Amino acid sequence: MNALTGRQKTFAGALPALAVSLLLLSACASQPTSPDGSIEVRNKLTALQNDPELSERARVELREAEQAVQLAERPLPDSEKALASHRIYMADRRVEIARATAATKLAEDQRAELGEQRGEARLQARTREADRAHADAAQARSSEADMQRRLAELEAKETERGMVVTLGDVLFDTGSAQLRDSTNSNLDKLVSFLDQYPDQRALIEGHTDNVGSADYNQRLSLQRAESVKQYLTQRGITANRLSASGFGLQRGIASNDTAAGRQQNRRVEIVIEKD
C-alpha cells in the first residue's frame, strides 16, 4: 500500500523542478526593467549600425552612442524615472550625432566620386546635402553642449533622483513663503532654461529644518514650492510642465544640530526631467 505508482513517482520527481521554476519567475518579476524609451533608442542605434554606408563613417561616434545607450538601458526603480529619462535623452542625442556625422561623410564621399563628369547641377545638389548634414551634426552638438552649459550655470547636479537644482533658503525670509525680490535672478536663469527646452518638466520640492512642528514645516515647505511654481508660470512656463510638493523636514541633507546644517536643510529643489 505504501508503494508509489509510476505516475505518482513522475509527479513527485517533477515537484523540485517546478519549485525552482516558480522561484526563478518570481525573482525575474521582482527585478527592475529597462526604462521606457530605451527600446526605441536601441532600435535607432541598431538601424544605424546595420547601415553599411553609414556605420563605417562614424565609428567613434557610434562607440559613444553605444555606451550612452547601454547606460540608458540599465534598469532603474520607479523612484528614479527622472534619471532614466535624462539618460535616454542623452543616448538619443548621441545616436543623432552619429547619424549626422556619418551622413556628412557619406555626402562628401559621394561628392568626390561624382566629380565633374556628373555635371555642375548634380554636384551642387550633393554639396547642399553635405552642407545640410554638416549643419545638422553641428546643431546636434551645439544643442547638447548648450544644455550642459545651462545646467552648469544652474549648478545642477546629477543624482539618483535626476538633475537637481538646489535653491537655498535665501529665497525667503524666516517663516515666510513670500519670495524675496533680490533672489529673482536665480529663478530667472531657471525660467530661461525651461523656455529654451520646452520638452523639459520640473518637479518643485520644498524642504525645511526641524525648527517648529512637523505640521508647520510641512505646510511651509509646500507653500514655498507653490511660490516658486507661481513665479515660473507668471513668466510664461506652462503649469502642466510643473508640479509642486512639500516634504517638510523629512528629507534633510545635513544635521539639524548646527545652524549651518539647518540652513542646508532649508531649501527648494528643482528636479529637471524629460517629458
Same domain, 123 and 80: yes
Evaluate whether 239 touches 229 at the Cβ level (below 8 Å).
yes
Strand partners, 164: 157, 271
Tell me the angle at which helices 184-196 and 120-153 cross, rounded to the nearest 10 degrees: 150
List the domain range (segments joined by +) for residue 247.
157-274
C-alpha cell at 141: 552638438
pLDDT for residue 19: 54
Please say if the pLDDT value at position 10 is more than 80.
no
Going by pLDDT thresholds of 50, 70 and 90, the confidence category of residue 116 is low
Most confident listed range (130-134, 185-189, 203-207): 203-207
Please say if the pLDDT value at position 149 is more than 50.
yes
In a domain, 1, yes or no: no
Q: What is the mean pLDDT of residues 156-175?
A: 85
Same domain, 184 and 124: no
Same domain, 66 and 131: yes
C-alpha cell at 37: 524609451
The distance from CA 168 to its chain's CA centroid, rounded to whole angstroms, is: 23
pLDDT in tens, 49-97: 999 999 999 999 999 999 999 999 999 998 888 898 899 999 999 999 9
Please say if the pLDDT value at position 121 is more than 70.
yes
C-alpha cell at 42: 536601441
Mean pLDDT, all residues of the chain: 85
Alpha-carbon gap, residue 162 to 36, rounded angstroms: 16
Same domain, 104 and 175: no
C-alpha cell at 13: 520527481
What pTM was computed for the model?
Answer: 0.56
Q: What is the mean pLDDT of residues 108-118?
A: 78
Alpha-carbon gap, residue 135 to 266, rounded angstroms: 45
In a domain, 56, yes or no: yes
Closest CA to 101 of 69, 53, 58: 58
Q: What is the CATH number of the domain that holds 239?
A: 3.30.1330.60
pLDDT for residue 221: 96
Q: What is the mean pLDDT of residues 95-119?
A: 86
Same domain, 180 and 129: no
Same domain, 138 and 168: no
pLDDT for residue 114: 78
Among 129, 153, 177, the domain boundary falls at 153
pLDDT for residue 28: 47
Among 133, 153, 173, the domain boundary falls at 153
pLDDT for residue 1: 45
Alpha-carbon gap, residue 109 to 46, rounded angstroms: 23
pLDDT in tens, 211-265: 999 999 999 999 999 999 999 999 999 999 999 999 999 999 999 999 999 999 9
Same domain, 134 and 165: no
pLDDT for residue 13: 55
